[in-house]
Amino acid sequence: MHPVVAALKHHKTTVALVALEIALTCAIVTNALFLIGDRLALMHMTTGVADNQLVWARASGLDLGQDSGAASPAEAAADMAALRAIPGVESVAMTNSLPLAGSYWSMGIWRHPGDKHSVLDNAVEYVGTRGMVKTLGINLSEGRDFLPDEYVDYSIFGGKAKVPPSVAIVTRALANQLWPGQDPLGKTFYLGDHGKYAIHVVGVTEHLLNPSINPNQGIERGLILPVKSVQGGMYVLRMRPDMRKAVKEAIPKILIGLDPSRIVPDDQIYTDTISEYFHGDRAMIWLLLVVIGCLLAVTALGVVGLSSFWVQQRTRQIGIRRALGATRADIMRYFLAENFLIVGIGVVVGLLAAVALNLWLMDHYELHRMPLVWLLPGAAVLLILGQLAVLAPALRASHVPPVVATRSV
Amino acid sequence: MFAYYLDLALRSFRRNRVLTALMVLALGLGIGASITTLTVLKLLSGDPLPQKSARIFAPEINPLPAQVHLPAAELFSNWGDLMSYTDAMNLLRARRGERQAVVALTGAKIAPRQAGRHPFFSNGVMTTADFFAMFDAPFEYGSGWSEQDGEDRARVAVISTTLNDKLFDGRNSLGQIIRVSDHDYRIIGVLKPWAPQPRFYAISVGGQGYGNGDDVFLPLQSALADKMGPENTNCWSPDANVNHLETAPCAFVGLWVELANASDAGAYKTFLSNYVQQQISLGRFHHPDVDLPDLMGYLGQQQVVPDDAKLQTNLAFGFLLICIVNTVGLLLAKCLRRSREIGVRRALGATRGAVFAQFMVESGMVGVAGGVLGLIFAELGLWAIRHQPADYAKLAHLDVSMFVATFVIALIASLIAGLLPAWRACVVAPAPQLKSV
């Protein structure tokens, strides 16, 4: 290694430049890979429902807010009966939202009635009509589904039906926040003004993602309440995956057929809803991949350029080494070792820079700390890239004939 | 001399075509990425009302019950100028500003009167009389409504030129009837194309931050009387009745105030504080927090620019930095290779300054070429962005200032990259270089 280091001392500036470029690339590529991993993990979270068996629709008259023109429970029942009759549909229920569907209801939950310090804010409320748990395909790990007489008239929009149902199914995530380390089944929490309504937990589901992942509500924080009808709600239909397209096409005709003056502004195959929700993340992943690709290409070409220059500059020295008995493999090894050394220095500096960059990103964006294992792929990629980039110039060097040494220039 | 240096640079490029192409390509990629992301960032952080944004203010108050102790900064960054109908109308009727408007959005169901045409949803704005004058919304036909119309719950409407084209083929539709969410409204005004970006008045009331303008504007009192529901309703009492929004403890409207001078903000803030104190003594309010950001301050507080856009801009400039380092290395290699040529020039009488200038011209040319390529990459990048479903996507176009910025950035980047190589070139000692010839 010693002669390699000695030779490098003659090219301090160029060596420093290559090392700097490698270090910067390493820092950015490592963080970009981490960002990609982060987004991929988000995109592959379990929703907790039967993703590829659902289609949903909203119809005008179900809009949020004021009551005039809202579908009455009777209208909703007629709609659902008609939807159930579409060939292929196995079951239909009404709910206020679905995981990743965007719009959500949230509220505070009281652990102890009247004790304002016991309020857990930003719990996400799912409400559903009879058969909602089965239709959505929510798996209960403990307890039971709602009983037919547990569905009540309840609306978070107030009015007459402001008394909530007396039972609920909670997500494991919410249960762990309400009662850490305890079995939630049979526990009681409270809703309403000063927590005046008691609600008993009859079931627990391991997973049910929030309709929207955001800093206030987090990823999972939901509970399900049984209701008779949902103001501003959506119809959810369950069927075999291959029936989804046909059913989706039939829905607007059926609903408008029941009432020609209404609009069906939203109807969607549920997997498309998920895919739409993550569109921004997918675009970001592609962008990061393109940037990583361009960065690696630019860096590799830079290394090729500078290595070629060094080979050209040292043609005579190579000739002398060859004349003194060095084999082609020796020359190759020399250039590969030199490259490994420079890139190695760059990578070490780059890893430190990557950690610093991650800390800076954490300061400015909602990003968490990068586990140190994420440093490995970036380092490996750059070391391999460096060796590949130097291969062609090194090969050219190894083909320098010994006779060059004897020529004066 | 400049022309001679240009000629020398061209000759040198011709001698090392691959190396030159590499430099230009790398620089072009870096510049293209930076310009694309900068264009988007500029679009996103633009001033929607440049002529008067410093005089437009968003009053913010905290109506939450006593047991909710949310830090004011957190509440205001979530809610902005969102407040209850009662408070907004109290402040509106106090008329402490030049103009003031209360705004809420609604999904307006439009039923065309022509037979065979299906009803559709449009973006509706429920607001008060001053809205149009305050936000400089230009009229094609007619005008807005009066304050009295609002108090009388008159069923009058202003529609956008888009909706006018759709329903009336662009004809003067004043006096025509439009059916909005099952009620008949008389058209009294048609707007010219108007869509300020960001859509500042829509942010807190449940609208998109960017994108198309709204289609139908109705007096707030009339629309609420006709039971049109707002897009964003936040109630702080579980006993709130959303079916009677005018009196419900729910925030669903935004309030905007135009002051005669930006310096009147202090006086208005005092007025706002006094109002809140008065409400506290009446037992309606429990927190004295108020804020009064101006329009641009409000957009900053609402963090209207998505984090991803900022992250992408940082990423692009990181990329550009690497491209510059790469160019420094390649330029350096190129000029070290020409040590002998430099030696000859120096021996023939060229000063160090002349050699320095020659190499700076050469790197400047790399920069200009990189800029041209960068422009192409930026257009490609923006084209790709326009095909994304983001709400601002359609607005991403290169404007004159970004066009100029491309070349400024390209020149600065290449000249920085050229500094070290040019300096190394001009300190080459002529004698040793000549000796070996």
Give ipTM to 2 decimals. Answer: 0.81
Residue with tokens 């008239």: A153
Residue A68 has pLDDT above 60, yes or no: no
Contacts of A157 in chain B (CB under 8 A): 241-243
Strands A197-205 and A119-128: unpaired
Instruction: Give the pLDDT of residue A61.
Output: 55
* Structural domain boundaries, residue B399: 2-45+307-435
My answer on whether B324 and B291 are in the same domain is: no
Which of B319, B336, B424 is the best mutation test for A, with the most CBs of A within 10 A?
Answer: B319
Q: Which residue does chain A place closest to B326, by CA atoms?
A: A302
Contacts of B422 in chain A (CB under 8 A): none
Residue A199 is encoded by which pair of tokens? Answer: 């609600």
Task: Inspect the interface and report whether the beta carbons of A287 and B322 lie closer than 8 Å.
Answer: no
* End-of-domain residue from the set B301, B333, B367: B301
Task: Inspect the interface and report whether the beta carbons of A64 and B233 lie closer than 8 Å.
Answer: yes
Inter-chain Cβ pairs, chain A and chain B, closer than 8 A: 154
Contacts of A32 in chain B (CB under 8 A): 315
Which of A263, A298, A342 is the best mutation test for B, with the most CBs of B within 10 A?
Answer: A298
A14, A20, A63 ranked by CB distance to B333: nearest: A14
B120, B245, B315 ranked by CB distance to A66: nearest: B245
Instruction: Give the pLDDT of residue B346.
Output: 86
The span from the CA of A291 to the CA of A294, in Å, is 5
* End-of-domain residue from the set B251, B283, B301: B301
My answer on whether B184 and B252 are in the same domain is: yes
User: Which of helix, strand or coil describes residue B259?
Assistant: coil
Contacts of B109 in chain A (CB under 8 A): 60, 263
Instruction: Give the pLDDT of residue A1.
Output: 61
B121, B224, B326 ranked by CB distance to A298: nearest: B326
Q: What share of chain B is helix, strand, coil (3-state, %, to 5)?
A: 55, 15, 30
Task: Inspect the interface and report whether the beta carbons of A20 and B325 lie closer than 8 Å.
Answer: yes
The span from the CA of B335 to the CA of B425, in Å, is 6
| Mean pLDDT along residues A337-342 | 91
Q: Which residue does chain B place closest to A108, by CA atoms?
A: B238
Structure-model confidence comparison of residues B235 and B411, the more confident one: B411
DSSP string, A97-148: --TTSS--EEEEEESSTT-GGGEEEEEEEEEE-TTHHHHHTPPEEEE-PPPG
Q: Residue A258: which pLDDT band, with cuts at 50, 70 and 90?
A: confident
B126, B220 contact by CB (below 8 A) = yes
Which of B243, B327, B373, B392 is the best mutation test for A, with the most CBs of A within 10 A?
Answer: B243
DSSP state of A70: P
* End-of-domain residue from the set B262, B278, B301: B301
My answer on whether B342 and B291 are in the same domain is: no
The minimum CA-CA distance between B116 and chain A, rounded to whole Å, is 11
Instruction: Give the pLDDT of residue A158.
Output: 63
> Which of A88, A124, A333, A363 lies closest to A220, judged by CA?
A124
Lowest mean pLDDT among A271-275, A323-327, B432-436: B432-436
| Mean pLDDT along residues A82-108 | 89
Lowest mean pLDDT among A4-18, B73-87, B90-104: A4-18
Give the Cβ contact number of residue A403 at 10 Å.
10
My answer on whether B93 and B15 are in the same domain is: no
Task: Inspect the interface and report whether the beta carbons of A263 and B121 lie closer than 8 Å.
Answer: yes
Task: Inspect the interface and report whether the beta carbons of B233 and A65 lie closer than 8 Å.
Answer: yes
My answer on whether B284 and B396 are in the same domain is: no
Largest CA distance in chain A: 104
The span from the CA of B344 to the CA of B171, in Å, is 78
| Mean pLDDT along residues B342-371 | 89
Contacts of B230 in chain A (CB under 8 A): 65
Give exposure, A283-308, as e/b (b: 16+ Cβ within 10 Å).
bbbebbeebbebbbebbbbbbbbbbb
Contacts of A71 in chain B (CB under 8 A): none
Instruction: Give the pLDDT of residue A67.
Output: 43
Instruction: Give the pLDDT of residue A172.
Output: 94
| Mean pLDDT along residues A132-152 | 92
Task: Inspect the interface and report whether the beta carbons of B389 and A162 lie closer than 8 Å.
Answer: no
Residue B186 phi, psi (nearest 5): -95, 130
| Mean pLDDT along residues A75-83 | 87
My answer on whether B83 and B99 are in the same domain is: yes
Instruction: Give the pLDDT of residue B229.
Output: 86
B378, B31 contact by CB (below 8 A) = yes
The span from the CA of B235 to the CA of B245, in Å, is 10
Contacts of B181 in chain A (CB under 8 A): 69
Contacts of B323 in chain A (CB under 8 A): 298
| Mean pLDDT along residues B246-265 | 91
Task: Inspect the interface and report whether the beta carbons of A158 and B242 lie closer than 8 Å.
Answer: yes
Say what percent of chain A tops pLDDT 90. 45
Kind and range of the H or E run holding B384: helix B352-386
Instruction: Give the pLDDT of residue A60.
Output: 67
| Mean pLDDT along residues B426-431 | 81
Question: What is the pLDDT of chain B when averaged over all its residues?
Answer: 89
The minimum CA-CA distance between B107 and chain A, rounded to whole Å, is 8
My answer on whether B81 and B145 are in the same domain is: yes
| Mean pLDDT along residues B66-91 | 88
The span from the CA of A134 to the CA of B359, in Å, is 74
My answer on whether B125 and B156 are in the same domain is: yes
My answer on whether B82 and B209 are in the same domain is: yes
My answer on whether B326 and B411 are in the same domain is: yes
My answer on whether B253 and B334 are in the same domain is: no
Residue A239 is encoded by which pair of tokens? Answer: 């069927």
Contacts of B111 in chain A (CB under 8 A): 261
| Mean pLDDT along residues B256-275 | 93
My answer on whether B428 and B401 are in the same domain is: yes
Structural domains of chain B, count: 2
The span from the CA of B202 to the CA of A267, in Å, is 25
Say what percent of chain A tops pLDDT 70. 95
Q: Residue A208: which pLDDT band, with cuts at 50, 70 and 90?
A: very high
